Amino acid sequence: MINSESKKPIRRIGFDLDGVVLYNPIRMFRPLVAMAKKNVLHKENIKFFVPQKSLAKLLWNLVHKSSLFVSPGFYDTMKLLKDKNVEAYLITARFGTLQEDFDKWMKKIDAKSHFKAFYHNPKDEQPHLFKQRMIDELNLDMFIDDNWDIVNHLNNQFKDKDKKILWITNLLDSRIKYKYKFSSFKKLYHYLKSSLD
């Protein structure tokens, strides 16, 4: 139970967009990309590619078209949080080049009805640092993400600050042990429902 583990009640929860609010099948290949960075490029530290040139920006936009539809369980979760007087925030690290697609999705999911506020990353900060800053600024009690590297980073940053970082995982990452791990948004919904009752 979340509330029994926390010193304070859950009042503010943040959600990532791609792979969390939006179902994205490509996210299952994240561990392969991470493995390539480590074994081929020999990069140990977390660092994300930021598209700068026109071709890279075009490819980045195409890759994000893989966010196909709203995750099953999303609307039920938003209703649950509203009923429990829990504020929901959407925080995506989508770069500035994805502004148009971000705006389109905010209209499509009627974000103003579900979220207290929603943010993306127009200054192209490193995603893990952008999310860390936003969690701090908004004083969130909980944040949900699908990228293990980001989840691991945030968990290390906030584990002593009474903040929970929840992870929606995928098949290829399922071997990783983590306390707050869920295989789908629906599983997350049931966890929140039982925890906020």
pLDDT tens for each residue of 15-68 = 999 999 998 876 655 554 555 455 444 355 678 877 777 766 667 566 656 667
What's the DSSP call for residue 158?
A: H
Q: Tokens 């926390």 identify what position? A: 6
Distances from the Cα of 182 to the Cαs of 52, 140, 166, in angstroms? Answer: 34, 20, 8
Identify the pLDDT of residue 44.
52
What is the structure's pLDDT at 148?
93
Pairing type for strands 22-23 and 69-70 reads: antiparallel
The predicted model scores a pTM of: 0.83
Q: In what order do the strands lie in the sheet with 164-168?
A: 117-121, 87-95, 12-15, 142-145, 164-168, 181-182
Question: Within 10 Å of residue 149's Cβ, how many Cβ atoms?
Answer: 18
Domains parsed from the chain with CATH numbers? 10-196 (3.40.50.1000)
pLDDT in 10s for each residue of the chain, 197 residues: 444 454 568 899 999 999 999 988 766 555 545 554 554 443 556 788 777 777 666 675 666 566 678 999 999 999 999 999 999 999 999 998 889 999 999 999 999 999 999 999 999 999 999 999 999 999 999 999 999 999 999 999 998 888 999 999 988 888 899 999 999 999 999 999 998 87
Q: Quick one: DSSP state of residue 176?
A: S
Name the token pair of 154. Answer: 């945030």
pLDDT computed for residue 180 by the predictor: 96
Report the Cα 162 to chain-centroid distance in Å: 18
Strand partners, 84: none
So what's the pLDDT on residue 85? 96
